Amino acid sequence: MKNNKQSKGIVYLVGAGPGDPNLITLKGLNCIKKAGVLIYDRLISSRLLQYASKEAELIYVGKLPDRHTLQQEEINNLLAEKAAQGKIVTRLKGGDPFVFGRGGEEAACLAEQNIAFEIIPGITSAIAVPAYAGIPVTHRGVASGFTVITGHEDPNKKDSALNWSALAGGAGTNVILMGMGNLAELTRRLVAEGLDPSTPVALIHRGAQAGQRTLVGSLSDIAEKSKEANFKPPVVIVTGDVVRMREQLQWLEQKPLFGKRIVVSRAREQASLFAEKLEALGAEIIEFPVIKIVPPADYAALDRSLGQLEEYSWIIFTSENGVKHFFNRLRETGRDIRDLKGAEVCAIGPKTREALEERGLQVAYVPSEYRAEAVVEQLQSKISTGERVLLPRADLARKVLPESLEALGAVVDNVEAYRTVRGEGNTALLKELLGEKEIDLITFTSSSTVHNLITMLGDHAADLLNGVSLAAIGPITAATVREQGLKVDVEAKEYTIDGLIEAIESYYL
C-alpha cells in the first residue's frame, strides 16, 4: 500500500464472517464501532449494525442474483468518495473480502486513487458453513486438501477458468460457492470428468444462521433432491467423502433452540447477556430495543431523599437500573455508601441483589417472589408502622408496591431514579421479518416492553404478530400482553431472565 495518502480518510475492508455475528474478528468489530460511514452487504447480520456509532452513516449496497442495489463500480467509487471526504469508512462484507468477495477490486480502486485502506480478513463461509453443518473440509484418512471454487461460471463454456479434470480427479473436498443456480450442470460436469456419481454431496442453506438447512445426497441425485426440497440460495455446496462425517459431527442442530429466531425487546444496554444465553442454546437473536433507560427529567425528588438518607429505615431496590441510577446520583452529589448507614436494604430479585453487593452493600432481605403483591406480604412482618421507606425506581413503575406499603403504616417516598422511554429498534426491519413470517418468538421483560412494541408496530400489530409465539417474564407482564388481545405462549415461573430462558427452552422441547 502506498504512503503519502492525499486525505486523512481510510477504508477498512472487513470480512464479517458467514452469518453468525459472533464469528466476526475483534479487529473487524472495532472497525464497525469507529466507522463514520458503514457500507454493508445483504448477508450481514443486523446485530453487527447495532455496534455502529449513532452518528455513523449506514449505506446498504446488498446484491441479489437478479438485481443489484449498486453496481460494483458504483460501490468502488462510493468507498473512495466517502474516504476522500476525510471519513473513516468500514466496508462490511460477508465471509472474507478476498474469497469471492470482490474485495480485491475495491482495494485496487482505492489504491489507484491513492486512498488509504486496510484489509481485515474474515472467516470464510467455505470453511465455517460446512463446520456449522458438522462437515470438516479436511479429515485425516478422508481428505487431505480442499478446493474452493465459484459456482457462477457456466460449467459448459469452452474456455473455463476452472480445471474440471483436476476437480474431478482429486481425492480432496470441493467447496462450491454461489453455485445453486448451476447445480445440475455442476454435478453433471464433475461426473463427466470422472468423479464417481455416488460421491456424497451436501447443500447447506443459510449456514451459521437460524434458518440453516442441510440436504445430503450424491452427485447423481442431489439436483433432483434440491428441487423437491425447494432449496434456494444462499447455499454452500460440498462434495467429497467428508460429507459422511456429518452423521457423527453435526452439533448445531442438536441445540434446543436451533432454528429459532427470537426477538429480544429489552433496552440495548441490558440485552447482551440475555441474547448471549439464548444464542448459546442455538437461537438467532434479533435485538429490537423497545425501551431506553434514561435519567429522570428532574432530580429534585431523588436529591431530596439523598439528602435525608439517615431518616429511612428501609431502602427497597426493585431493579438493577434503580441501583445503577441511584448510586450514580449518590456519587454525583458528593455522597457515598457511608450515607446509607442505619437503613436496611431490600433487593427484589437476585440480579438486583448482585448489583448492590458489587457496590459493597449487605442486603438484608430478598423476597422469594418478585411481584409487588408478594413482596409486600413478605415484608409486612419486617416493616413497622411509621417507619420511612425509600423506593428509588422507574417513572412508570406500578403503584401497587408503594400503596401497599403505606397500607401497612409505612411512610413511603416513591422517587424517580430513572425513566423508561421508547427505544430505537429498527421498526422497518422488524415489520419486514414479521411480514415474511421469519420471527418465531418475541420476549417481553416488562409491561413497558409490551406497550412500546405494540405502539411501534402500529395499527397492524395484531396481524403482524399472528402466528408468533410470545414470552413474558412474569404474571404482570403476561397480563399486559393479554390486555392487548394477544396470547401468552410462554410465562416464566421464576420472574428473572434465567427463568424466562428456562421457560422458552421448555416450550420448544
Over residues 191-234, the pLDDT tens digits come to 999 999 999 999 999 999 878 999 999 999 999 999 999 999 99
Over residues 357-399, the pLDDT tens digits come to 999 999 998 888 777 777 788 888 888 899 999 999 988 888 8
Q: What is the pTM (predicted TM-score) of this model?
A: 0.81
Q: Which residues of 263-280 are buried (b: 16+ CB within 10 A; e: fewer)?
A: bbbbbbebbeebbebbbe
| Helix H or strand E segment including 397 | none
Residue 4 buriedness (CB in 10 A; 0-12 / 13-18 / 19+):
exposed
Q: Which three cell numbers stand for residue 359?
A: 457496590
Distance in angstroms (rounded) separating the CA atoms of residues 79 and 87: 10
- Give me the pLDDT at residue 2, please: 45
Distance in angstroms (rounded) separating the CA atoms of residues 62 and 69: 6
Over residues 327-340, the pLDDT tens digits come to 999 999 999 999 99
pLDDT (average), residues 417-436: 91
| Helix H or strand E segment including 69 | none
Least confident of 113-127, 358-372, 401-415, 438-452: 358-372
**pLDDT of 65 above 80:** no
63 is catalytic: yes
178 is catalytic: yes
**pLDDT of 149 above 50:** yes
pLDDT (average), residues 345-355: 91
- From first CA to last CA, the distance across the chain in angstroms is 54
> Which of 63, 441, 104 lies closest to 282 in space, CA to CA?
441
* Residue tagged active-site, from 20, 93, 96, 178: 178
* Residue tagged active-site, from 41, 96, 413, 440: 41
Handedness of CA 122, 10, 45, 288 (dihedral sign): positive
Asked if 504 and 490 count as a contact pair (C-beta separation under 8 A), the reply is yes
Beta bridge partners of 239: 174, 201
Q: Taking all residues of the chain, what is their mean pLDDT, rounded to a whole number?
A: 91
For the beta sheet containing 37-40, the strands, ordered from the edge strand earlier in sequence to the opposite edge, are 57-60, 37-40, 88-93, 10-15, 116-120
* Residue tagged active-site, from 5, 63, 292, 382: 63
Q: CA distances (Å), 354 to each of 106, 366, 382, 457, 494, in order? A: 49, 11, 22, 35, 17
What is the pairing mode between strands 235-239 and 173-177?
antiparallel
Q: Which three cell numbers stand for residue 466?
A: 399472528
Which residues fall within 8 angstroms of residue 208, CB to CB, at 6 or more apart? 17, 18, 19, 20, 23, 125, 128, 129, 132
Least confident of 3-7, 17-21, 347-351: 3-7
Distance in angstroms (rounded) separating the CA atoms of residues 173 and 168: 10
Q: Which domains does the chain have, with CATH numbers?
A: 10-123 (3.40.1010.10), 127-254 (3.30.950.10), 261-290+423-508 (3.40.50.10090), 295-421 (3.40.50.10090)
27 is catalytic: no
Over residues 163-181, the pLDDT tens digits come to 899 999 877 999 999 999 9
pLDDT (average), residues 89-101: 95
**pLDDT of 69 above 80:** no
